[in-house]
Each structure stands twice: as structure tokens, then as C-alpha cells.
Amino acid sequence: MNTDSIYNGGSPAIGIDLGGTKTEAVLLATDGTVLWRQRRPTPRAHGYDSMLSIVTGMIRDAAAHVPGDTSYTVGIGIPGSLDASSSLVRNANSTCLIGRPLQADIEQLLGCSVQIRNDANCFTLAECHAGAGRGYGLVFGVIMGTGCGGGICIDGVVREGPHRIAGEWGHLSVAPGGAECYCGNRGCVETLISGSGVEAAFFREHGQRMSMDEIVAQAREGETRCKDAFDRFLDDFGRCLGGVISIIDPDAVVLGGGLSNIDELYAVGTERVKRFAFHDKLQTPILKNQLGDSAGVFGAAWIGQSINKIDQRYLVS
């Protein structure tokens, strides 16, 4: 990936993408070259301390590969955001992070400053400057994986908003009588079209635990229960994304996260979006990411730099 056009920082950059199932780290040279890269499973079962340990450990590992005594920056993407007034984590689908001073804890353990942003914003930033979103004015970036998040990029700048929730369509309640979400509402987008949401719905209906990959694979083979679950997923995708398109009318939508690899989203799913959007000749391109599931880690590295292209107006000094 050529990052030279947007990466002009004066020092190497470390990026961390803390995901629901995997955590990835990257070290970029000053010219954007990847110097070091690593992935590890995210230890969700052991709570906050384990997540803190894996993040700080991977930053130390990356820092060990920084040439000489060169200074470096650190950016971290998380499945949530920092509250603008308290700097505590909020709205995280990795719920052990909620209410925790993650930034302060990491900085204390490492003795250096770090920047933390929402993972969907990191993904959207990366795709708009080095991926599928290049050349579009208003882009809605979507992460569909363990959870469901979104980001908005306008003319090359990611919009965060005063509450740092711009683009967070995952917790729009579209089915008030639906499944309870960890956020306290029912029928959120995340309960319908995330991998964990589809898996939970299948278990509630059939009493059997199946992964999203298994549901999709067996649906393609004609298994009736999986076909029904998969068709409902595509229908919910169309309804949810069609509603967002009707509100912000983006120039393009870029899909990311593990579920973005489901080919049917770009065929049947797109037709369902057209059904639910408020226009009878919808032309909005729905694009697969070009940077793969590593887009977020590159965006995280860039937000560690002063040229991070995320709206700075609401940062707490």
C-alpha cells in the first residue's frame, strides 16, 4: 500500500487496532513503509486488565523495532470512544472498557502520550485516503464484524462531533421490540447485522450455536434454517443502510470488518438497500474496502500524527 501521499509525519508511527476478536499493531516509517506488523487474538474473556496488557505489550514490541533512538507516535483505534469531558471510554461493545481511563492507564504504563479514536473512524480515514473511498466527497464508512459501527468523512476529514458519535449507526434502534442490546436499547442495528447479533438470533430461534461463517456457508448450501437467517440478515442490511443513505445521502459507502467479505452484500444486499432508501433510482455505490481488515490499524497509526485528518475541534486539552 502506498501511503506516501498522506503520511508526512516527522517520526515513525505505531498504530494499534483493538478489535473484538483480534488486535493488530503496525509500525510505519516516516515514508509510510511498513517496518513491522503483528496480530494477536484479543483476550476478551479476561477483562480490562488483559486488554490493557495486550495493547501496551504490542506497543512495546513495535517500539523495539523503531530505528535507533528515534521518537515515535502512537495511535489506537478502539470499539468505542473517549468521553469528551471525562476521557473515560464509553459506547464500547467490548464492555469491559466502558468507564475505564484507558488512555491515562496506557500513558502511565508506557511513559509516552497516545491518541485514541473510534475504530470505525480509523477505518474510514484509511479508506478515504488510501483505499476505496478516495475521490469521493462524503463517505460513510461501515464496520460490520463482532459489532457494527460507522464513520463519516467529509472532503477528507473524519467528522467526530461534540459527543464523538458521528456515524454510530450501530445503536440506532430500528426494531423496538427486538433483542436487547448491551447499550440498553432494543433492536439496535448491531443486534441485527453484526456477526454476534446474527449468531445470537440464530441461537434464540433454534437453540443451536453457530458462527456467522457457518451460517453463511450452510445457507449457500441450501440448509433451510441458515437460508432464512441469512436472508433476514440481508434484508436487515438493506433496511438499516437504506435509512442511513436517506439521511446523509453520501457519495459512497465503504464496507469493512469481517462481514464485508460476504459477496452477497454487494449484489442482493445492495438491491435491498435500494428498496429501503428514499429514492427510486438510488445510485450510491456500495464498495468493498481496498485495504482489507487492516485498514483500521493504518488509520490508527495516522491519527497518532498531527496530520491525522480527524476533526480536532472537540478534543480536550
Which cell numbers in the block locate residue 71? 521518537
Tell me, what's the pLDDT at 200?
97
Which cell numbers in the block locate residue 237? 442490511
Report the pLDDT averaged over residues 201-213.
97
Looking at the fold, whether 100 and 20 belong to one and the same domain comes out as yes
pLDDT tens profile 120-136: 999 999 999 899 999 99
Looking at the fold, whether 154 and 49 belong to one and the same domain comes out as no
Least confident of 44-58, 77-91, 207-221, 295-309: 295-309
Looking at the fold, whether 282 and 144 belong to one and the same domain comes out as yes
- Could you tell me if residue 182 is inside a domain? yes
Looking at the fold, whether 116 and 152 belong to one and the same domain comes out as no
Looking at the fold, whether 174 and 192 belong to one and the same domain comes out as yes
Looking at the fold, whether 154 and 279 belong to one and the same domain comes out as yes
Question: Is the confidence at residue 4, as pLDDT, over 60?
Answer: no
Give the domain CATH number at 56: 3.30.420.40
Tell me, what's the pLDDT at 6?
45
- The mean pLDDT of the chain is 90
Looking at the fold, whether 92 and 236 belong to one and the same domain comes out as no
- Between 33 and 93, whose confidence is greater? 33
Query: Percent of the chain scored above 90 by pLDDT?
Result: 73
The residue segments making up the domain with residue 143 are 136-289
Tell me, what's the pLDDT at 311?
60
Looking at the fold, whether 140 and 266 belong to one and the same domain comes out as yes
Tell me, what's the pLDDT at 294?
81
Looking at the fold, whether 148 and 179 belong to one and the same domain comes out as yes
Tell me, what's the pLDDT at 266?
97
**Confidence at 93, pLDDT banded by 50, 70, 90:** confident
Tell me, what's the pLDDT at 106?
97
Looking at the fold, whether 153 and 279 belong to one and the same domain comes out as yes
Please list the helix, strand and coil fractions of the chain in percent, rounded to the nearest 5, in that order.
40, 20, 40
- Phi, psi torsion values for 251, nearest 5 degrees: -75, -25
Enumerate residues 6+ apart whose C-beta is below 8 A from 45. Answer: none
Question: Is the confidence at residue 44, as pLDDT, over 50?
Answer: yes
pLDDT tens profile 149-192: 999 999 989 998 888 889 999 999 999 899 999 889 999 999 99
**Confidence at 308, pLDDT banded by 50, 70, 90:** low
Secondary structure letter of residue 181 according to DSSP: P
Question: Is the confidence at residue 2, as pLDDT, over 60?
Answer: no
pTM beyond 0.85: the answer is yes
- Could you tell me if residue 298 is inside a domain? yes
**Domain total for the chain?**
2
Distance CA 304, CA 122 (A): 11
Tell me, what's the pLDDT at 310?
61
Beta-strand relationship, 252-256 and 286-288: parallel
Looking at the fold, whether 108 and 169 belong to one and the same domain comes out as no
pLDDT tens profile 11-30: 899 999 998 778 999 999 98
Distance CA 216, CA 228 (A): 10
- Could you tell me if residue 149 is inside a domain? yes
Secondary structure letter of residue 231 according to DSSP: H
Distance CA 54, CA 197 (A): 26
- Could you tell me if residue 312 is inside a domain? no
- Could you tell me if residue 167 is inside a domain? yes
Tell me, what's the pLDDT at 307?
46
Distance CA 267, CA 237 (A): 12
Closest CA to 302 of 87, 38, 76: 76
Report the pLDDT averaged over residues 87-111.
92
Tell me, what's the pLDDT at 312?
54
Looking at the fold, whether 30 and 153 belong to one and the same domain comes out as no
Helices (H), the chain: 47-63, 102-110, 119-130, 189-193, 195-206, 212-220, 224-248, 268-276, 295-303
Distance CA 213, CA 90 (A): 29
- Could you tell me if residue 79 is inside a domain? yes
Distance CA 82, CA 91 (A): 9
Question: Is the confidence at residue 314, as pLDDT, over 50?
Answer: no
